[in-house]
Structure 1
Amino acid sequence: MDVKHMRDYLGWLYYQYLLITGIYVLEPWEKSIFNTVLFTMVAMVVYTSYVFVPIHVRLALEFFSGLCGGQHESAMALMS
């Protein structure tokens, strides 16, 4: 894919984004505020997922391994 086709494709995707969200009818300053709020929310969701999901997955695996008869690590083994 060459640069011109990639640029046209990205322009088409942006146009689809404008149509789906309905922000094509907004003024430029309203679009920038909407895009800023949307980008901020998406960034916070991605960051929260990156930070907290692995912790919850590990805790869930420990919980379910305990239910299925898995052995728990003792506190003394972790301390030494």
Structure 2
Amino acid sequence: MDFKGVKDYFSWLYYQYQIISCCAVLEPWEQSMFNTILLTIFAMVVYTAYVFIPIHIRLAWEFFSKICGYQGL
């Protein structure tokens, strides 16, 4: 496996992230604050999806099963 190529690819992805989010023009402390806030929001969305989406899927399945007349276990 070519580790230099993988490192270059991730470096390129990080550069693209900085350009798209305009982090390249921020000072280092501003970049760290922006990245921390963004990472916190992302972690909260993933956690919320992990906790609540299975519950909603189960409730929807029970609701539509009763409407369609499916007699489950």
Q: One fold, TM greater than 0.5?
A: yes
Count of residues in Structure 1 that have an aligned counterpart in Structure 2: 73
Name the amino acid aligned to 1:42.
Answer: F
Structure 1 segments unaligned to the other structure (5+ residues): 74-80
1:38 equivalent to 2:55? Answer no
Structure 2 segments unaligned to the other structure (5+ residues): none
Residue matched to 1:23: 23
Q: Percent identity over the alignment? A: 63
1:6 equivalent to 2:6? Answer yes
Name the amino acid aligned to 2:9.
Answer: Y
- Using structure 1 for the length normalisation, give the TM-score: 0.86
- Describe the superposition over 1:9-50 as per-residue Cα deviations: whole angstroms up to 9, x where unpaired: 000000000011111100000000000000000000000101
Q: Give the 4+ runs in structure 1 shifted more than 6 A.
A: none
Q: Equivalent residue of 1:24, what SS? A: helix
- Using structure 2 for the length normalisation, give the TM-score: 0.94
Structure with larger Rg: 1
Separation in 2 of the partners of 1:47 and 1:57? 16
